[in-house]
Amino acid sequence: MPGFELFGEEERAQVQEVLDSGVLMRYGFDGMRNGHWKARELEIAIAERMQVNRVHLVSSGTAALTVALISAGVGAGDEVIMPTFTFVASFESILAIGAIPILVDVDDTLTLNPKAVENAITAKTKVVMPVHMCGSMADLNALKSICNKHGLLLLEDACQAIGGSYEGKPLGSIGDMGCFSFDYVKTITCGEGGAMITNNKDFYENAHKYSDHGHDHLGNDRGAETHLFLGYNFRISELNAAVGCAQIQRLDEFLSIQERNYTILRRALEEIPQITFRRVPEGGVENYSFLNFFLPNEALTRKVHKALLEAGIDACFYWYDNNWHYYRKWEHLIQKKALAKLPEEVINGLPDYSKADFSVSDQWMGRTISCLVKLSWSQGYVQKRAQKIKEVVLASL
């Protein structure tokens, strides 16, 4: 997945232009910039690639989720439905605005199970937030019709699936809003950065203002701008955006390398009858950043994962035991361990997750192994790696 594997001249040249102009901030200093507006350029490039009208860049994917939620009017006590398998940023962004993360089971897509979503809807629900984990997507048609039926917003977290598509549309562009991360380990990277994309003009207008202290961004005198509402600082710097300007041009190149490497690994594992693969919803195309597969039961999965580690096969993950990606190890959320007092709405509204039953998720995640697909691997190396993985798996069964 990581775009950092393939930094080159393009990234250097982009950053050099920013350093030469001396303007590291995305707003203002018009006279000094030599025409360089890297954040703006990157927003235009993302809008074009993702086929949306509006893009707003921010300092991280987590910030993008936070800004997307508040820009859509989500606030204290509102409920946001999210999956049990994701990254902690999902509930962090929800809690950051005083809203309530409602955890819901995943299915064999490793993303939100639409039936479980529908069962979790209450009068307080405002948003359904599918997370397209490990390169593939949620069943977006099913989620969309649930959202339409109940008057809810659909916010796609596409941080791990940039470049994937669903019924011909880029992931992130299908819901009311979509978010990307450009942190250091994502398919394309800015070092740190994120983006919120939408076709909703109001959400976009709120987003760029909110993430820059409420600035209205009218005229060319920042000090004279007015503030219609309270904001925050989630700005991206020009240096980060410059790296992104080079990386977005390479997204399709990266995706084709990932697809080639993924396919080699998959063909090898398809020869093992006990292995099944994560379900990709009909009409979906993965971004091939991970190969995700199931073994017949938890014990065998643990055994295979251990054997892969012992054989020196790195970057194959058993998320079921992971501290950051699966609810079982989110004891800070489960025990409501905050640094300081949480808002009353959160204290009163957050379900008691110590008593939750996510055994349906456990059934899938306990049997899942995800192997990262790297960009820097040569075809010859991937073939050897695929053979090795196959041998290790067969020896463990």
Enzyme catalytic residues: 186
Which H/E stretch holds residue 340?
A: none
Joined together, the tokens standing for residue 343 give 């808002």
The correct pick among 11, 46, 57, 62 for binding ligand PLP (CB under 6 A) is 62
Does position 131 interact with ligand PLP (CB under 6 A)? The reply is yes
Q: Is 160 in the site for ligand PLP (CB under 6 A)?
A: yes
**What DSSP element (H or E) covers 96?**
helix 89-96
Q: What is the DSSP letter of 237?
A: P
305 close to 367: Cβ distance less than 8 angstroms? no
> Minimum CB separation from ligand PLP for residue 193, in Å?
7
Please state, in angstroms and rounded to a whole number, the distance separating the CA atoms of residues 269 and 277.
9
- Site residues (CB under 6 A) for ligand PLP, limited to 86-105: 86-87, 89
> Of 164 and 386, which has the nearer Cβ to ligand PLP?
164
Residue nearest to ligand PLP (CB): 61
In this structure, the dihedral spanned by the alpha carbons of residues 251, 254, 260 and 262, taken in order and rounded to 10 degrees, is -90
User: Binder to ligand PLP among 78, 176, 183, 362 (CB under 6 A)?
Assistant: 183
Q: Least distance in Å: CB of 21 to ligand PLP?
A: 26
| Cα four-point dihedral sign 271, 276, 277, 281 | positive
The pair of three-digit structure tokens given for residue 158, joined into one six-digit string: 């596409």
Please identify which residue in 66, 181, 211, 287 interacts with ligand PLP, judged by CB under 6 A: 181
- Residue from 3, 61, 163, 164 binding ligand PLP (CB under 6 A): 61
CB of 300 to ligand PLP, least distance (A): 27
Residue 207 sits in the site that holds ligand PLP (CB under 6 A)? no
Give the residue among 13, 49, 85 at the shortest CA–CA distance from 255. Answer: 49
Stretch that binds ligand PLP, among 83-91, 146-154, 332-340, 371-379 (CB under 6 A): 83-91
Q: Which range of residues in 56-64, 222-230, 269-277, 299-307 is near ligand PLP by CB under 6 A? A: 56-64
Residue placing its CB nearer to ligand PLP in the complex, 77 or 191: 191
Residues 6+ apart with CB under 8 A from 50: 170, 172, 173, 178, 197
Would you say 112 and 165 are in contact if contact means Cβ atoms under 8 Å apart? no
CB 79 → ligand PLP: shortest distance, Å? 19
Residue 219 tokens read as 């005229």
Nearest to 192 by CA among 236, 156, 131: 236
Rule CB under 6 A: say whether 60 interacts with ligand PLP.
yes
Q: How many chain residues bind ligand PLP (CB under 6 A)?
A: 13
Q: Give the full edge-to-edge strand order of the sheet including 165-166.
A: 169-170, 165-166, 284-285
Closer Cβ to ligand PLP, 157 or 286, answer by number:
157
Should residue 66 be labelled a site residue for ligand PLP when binding is judged by CB under 6 A?
A: no
CB of 284 vs ligand PLP, minimal distance in Å: 17
Could you tell me how many helices (H) and strands (E) the chain has, helices first? 14, 14
For residues 27 and 212, the answer to whether their CB atoms sit within 8 Å is yes
Positions touching ligand PLP (CB under 6 A) are 60-62, 86-87, 89, 131, 157, 159-160, 181, 183, 194
